[in-house]
Amino acid sequence: MPPIACVSRTEHFSAAHRLNNSLLSAEENQQIFGKCNHAHGHGHNYILETIVRGPVDARTGMVANISDLKHWIQAAVLDVVDHRNLDADIEYFREHPSTTENLAVFIWIRLARVMPPGILYQVIISETAKNKVIYSGEGLTDSDYDECVVIILQGRYAGKKAVIVKNFDEGTSERPYPHAVVAGIERYPLKVTRSMDKKKVAARSRVKPFVKVVNYAHLMPTRYTLELEDIKAAVTAESLQEPSQRTAAKKA
């Protein structure tokens, strides 16, 4: 059995926020959050420590390549939260108070989407020199990783935006690698003018969707999410096996 080791990478980012819960009254928010509930918000210089854990590869001598770890953190976290207003710029915090605990959960979800399954071990965020949150992924379900808007990096749809409908972190018997079912728009409506007749307007107004299974390595997450309850039942991995099923899934 190969030795097991942990590798840590520390990064810094700055972000503003206001501790507030829209489900509570102004008095309750003030009582719970105190000065952190100030209407104009405040900011922090956060310290993020990302720890991965796994077997030391006999060929490379690594648990994970530091270059890969830097890229994952930059793309999934820093590009999203650095010099942002967490409440105004990130959809997740419109439903979750932007406490450091929830920030740690948010970062875990985003990192887990881009890292090889099982390698992410801990996320540690220092809000101040005295306050620190440690999170290891407990309490999350598969649905917490769905509904993320991503950019496809390779293949026919490279550069297209899509949304994750279903994750398969452990792969399947047919596809033994981490992948996701994604849905997106292949062709958007074209510009129409008043001078065009109804037939031409109808033709140029058509939307051509796509549904595809994509390797995790070929997806880059963004900071956006999308509500998908209406199409999750129709768009599944099984619905992509036959051309007729794929057509029905696109119509959904």
Residue positions annotated with a catalytic role: 36, 83, 127
Read off the tokens for 92.
């997740």
Across the strands, what pairs with 51?
A: 8, 122
Across the strands, what pairs with 13?
A: 46
Burial class (CB in 10 A: 0-12, 13-18, 19+), 172: exposed
DSSP state of 130: S
Report the distance separating Cα 244 and Cα 252, nearest Å: 13
Across the strands, what pairs with 7?
A: 52
Report the distance separating Cα 144 and Cα 42, nearest Å: 28
Q: Which of 16, 27, 146 is nearest to 88 (CA)?
A: 16
Pairing outcome for strands 179-187 and 161-168? antiparallel
Angle formed at CA 76 by CA 158 and CA 181, multiple of 5 degrees: 50
